[in-house]
Chain A
Amino acid sequence: AQSVSQHNHHVILSEAASLELGCNYSYGGTVNLFWYVQYPGQHLQLLLKYFSGDPLVKGIKGFEAEFIKSKFSFNLRKPSVQWSDTAEYFCAVVRSSNTGKLIFGQGTTLQVKP
């Protein structure tokens, strides 16, 4: 079965610390990859996406992610977090050959202390 794993369930950082959230998926073939963010009480919003080309993808609010095909990974990074980055982060994958079936990881709750 398709699966997406996020290694960190709850991360606590101080402002200005660097962030890296892990994401791995379990199947081969061509995939499209996404990171979404959910701020408290809100719906999910897209942070960034990878379809093809440069494996280093830059998104909104200073986030970036690197696709490493050999490791089936798509880790999210930010050099310096802010208190406003406190949110839940979700990795998601869809197989390009599939009929649009979009699968999410379990999510990582990020708490940034001022």
Chain B
Amino acid sequence: DAGITQSPRHKVTETGTPVTLRCHQTENHRYMYWYRQDPGHGLRLIHYSYGVKDTDKGEVSDGYSVSRSKTEDFLLTLESATSSQTSVYFCAISETDRGNTEAFFGQGTRLTVV
């Protein structure tokens, strides 16, 4: 398996609290992604990064922010968690800039907002 670690793996938080999920890679891949997985919606892209300090929005970016200060770390922050953000979050990494490689996925973080 590719060297991707997501932390925490499970989290329960209260509505209105800030939450940060961390994705750490040891592969030195350029691209990193955050997805959320919900029944009936597949994987939806939240934000992605194409280099240190280079990020862009995905399909469902509202309510989320990201930061990438180092190649190996990509942080996803929910500034004020809502129940609609209860989901399973996956981080992924890939290498080349023309998609000519596969994306490798982390194990996922199950977030419950109560």
Contact = CB atoms under 8 A, between A and B. Distances in A.
Nearest to B106: A43
Interface string B74-114: 00000000000000001010101111101101111000000
B23 to A, nearest CB: 12
The size bracket of the interface on A is 20 to 34
The size bracket of the interface on B is 20 to 34
A104 B103 CA distance: 12
Interface of B: 30-31, 33, 35, 40-45, 48, 50, 56, 58-59, 90, 92, 94, 96-100, 102-103, 105-108
17 contacts: A1-B59, A43-B106, A44-B43, A44-B105, A46-B103, A51-B99, A96-B98, A96-B99, A97-B98, A99-B50, A99-B56, A100-B31, A100-B48, A101-B56, A102-B99, A103-B59, A104-B44
